[in-house]
Amino acid sequence: MKHRIPLNPSSADRLKQETERLGTGETLCGYINDDGELIPFVMPEEASDVEVALRTFELKNGRPMNTLESRMLDLVVQARETQA
C-alpha cells in the first residue's frame, strides 16, 4: 500500500538519506508521528504487510502489540482477504 504525502523539508531530507542507505533486498517503510514528522525504517523486501504493521506499531508505541491488538489486526487482514 503506497500513499503520497506532503513532506516537510526535514522529513524529505531524512527520506532521501534513508533511501540512499538501502541495501539489496531491503525496502523503505515509514509512518508519520504525532508531530507530522516522517519516521522511516527498513524492512526486508519480502516482508508482508502484517510484518510491516507489527514493526510500525512497535516503533510508534515502544512495545509489541498485546493479544487483543494482535487479534484486531488478524480480523482486519481476514476482512481484506474476504473482500479481495
pLDDT at 24 over 80: yes
What is the per-residue pLDDT across 31-69, written as a single tens digit (0 to 9) for each?
988 888 888 899 999 999 999 999 999 999 999 999 999
Residue with cell 503520497: 4
Domain count across the chain: 1
Give residue 67's domain range: 9-83
Is 4 within a domain?
Answer: no
pLDDT at 1 over 80: no
- The residue type at 43: M
Is 75 within a domain?
Answer: yes
Q: Which of 75, 69, 83, 5 is nearest to 40 (CA)?
A: 5
Is 2 within a domain?
Answer: no
Is the pTM value of this prediction over 0.75? yes
pLDDT at 9 over 90: no
Is 3 within a domain?
Answer: no
Is 57 within a domain?
Answer: yes
Residue with cell 507489527: 54
Grade residue 17 by pLDDT with cuts at 50, 70 and 90: confident
* pLDDT for residue 84: 73
> What is the Cα–Cα distance from 55 to 75, expressed in whole angstroms?
18
What angle, rounded to 10 degrees, do the helices at 49-61 and 67-83 form?
150
Q: Where are the alpha helices (DSSP H) in 1-84?
A: 9-21, 49-61, 67-83
Is 44 within a domain?
Answer: yes
